[in-house]
Amino acid sequence: MKQIVFLTSQVRWGSKPFIKKMTENTFRLFAEAGNSNNVQVAFTSPSMIEKDHVARFWFYQSGWKIKKEKRKVQVVYSYLSYNEKNKKILRSLEKNKSIKLINPFPLMALCYDKAKLSKFIDKGQHPQTFLVHSSKELIVAAKKISSAMVVIKPRFGLRGEGVELYNKKNLPKRVLRNSIVQEFIELKKIKGRSYDLRLMMINSRLDHAYYRIAPKGSFKANCSLGATKKIVDIEKIPGEAWEIAAKIDKKLEVFSPRIYSIDLIRDKLGKYYVLELESMPGFYHYTGAQSKFRKNYLNNIFKSLDI
């Protein structure tokens, strides 16, 4: 059986691998998909990586089991947050030519870095975006933005954490270094609620798509913050969204393999914009009726890997 190393800071080394039940259930599904495709998934933390070997890991085979032995690392799927320590680990792994990263490091860096992403997306297909490091720079940047409201968020971040909406007449007195100030686009809504369209990509193939519908009164369509999913029939995705996705993927063809998502928003006039790319799209928060899409997606990930 082949093996991939699943790197996550959520793994524990006590009587069970994960604290949260939802995490345990979701990663179990990932492991089972691997087993079905003759791939053992070794769940471990960065501290267990020793050059090109993993010293200890969990795997699932009719229950969670722990293995304490040195095993050579061949393929790595990173589910790590983007900080200096983890960046150093991933860079080190990528320098080893015998190790393959699912999503090469430059792709992960692009997806996590909202300032870099704003320059990568074609002009006019991304909200106006500026990188600021101080309240003075924030004021200057806000004046260049056409909308009356602006979104302020961390340059590096996930799942809507630290994302806030401000009127330009009442900007915060302080702003953290490496903050993004962005045009606020008034969105089309579903039953009065904001939403975005997430396209789940495996290499150049669209696996499935869904709307993420924000909770009532919120502009954040993150499932971790209470948004709900609605699966979208691929054949009903508008041509403009397809064209934008195709342009992005064409630029990303140099990175292989790539498992990522494209988040699109649609303004009141129907124009699409790229909001974010995600190199670590979550596979939580699927309802019972949606579980078949997740199962197919996880199986398709393993089928796409050349290992």
pLDDT in tens, 126-156: 999 999 999 999 999 999 999 999 999 999 8
- Torsion sign, CA atoms 274, 280, 285, 286: positive
Distance, first Cα to last Cα, the chain: 11
- Tell me the C-alpha distance between 266 and 273, whole Å: 6
Please give the residue that has the higher pLDDT: either 39 or 159.
39
pLDDT tens digits for range 256-291: 899 999 999 999 999 999 999 999 888 888 998 999
Helices (H), the chain: 21-36, 84-95, 105-112, 114-120, 135-144, 239-252, 291-304
pTM of the model: 0.93
283: tokens are 């596979």
Domains 128-183 and 187-304 share a fold: no
Instruction: Find the radius of gyration of the CA atoms of the chain.
Output: 20
pLDDT digits (tens, 9 = 90+) for 167-193: 999 999 999 999 999 999 988 888 888
Q: Tell me the fold of 2-102.
A: Rossmann fold (3.40.50)
Compute the CA torsion angle 92, 204, 222, 79 (nearest 10 deg).
-20
Q: What CATH code would you report for 187-304?
A: 3.30.470.20
CATH number assigned to the domain covering 128-183: 3.30.1490
Residue 185's nearest CA partner among 271, 97, 251 is: 271
What is the pLDDT at residue 160?
A: 64
Domain ranges of the chain: 2-102, 128-183, 187-304
Rounded Cα distance, 57 and 146, in Å? 51
Of the chain, the percentage scoring pLDDT greater than 70 comes to: 99
- Residue 180: CB atoms within 10 A of its CB come to 25
Q: What is the pLDDT of residue 200?
A: 96
Q: List Cβ neighbours of 216 (8 Å cut-off, separation of 6 or more).
A: 192, 193
Q: Check the CA dihedral 210-283-114-92 and report its sign.
A: negative
* Whether the predicted pLDDT of 18 surpasses 70: yes
Whether the CB-CB separation of 275 and 295 falls below 8 Å is answered with no
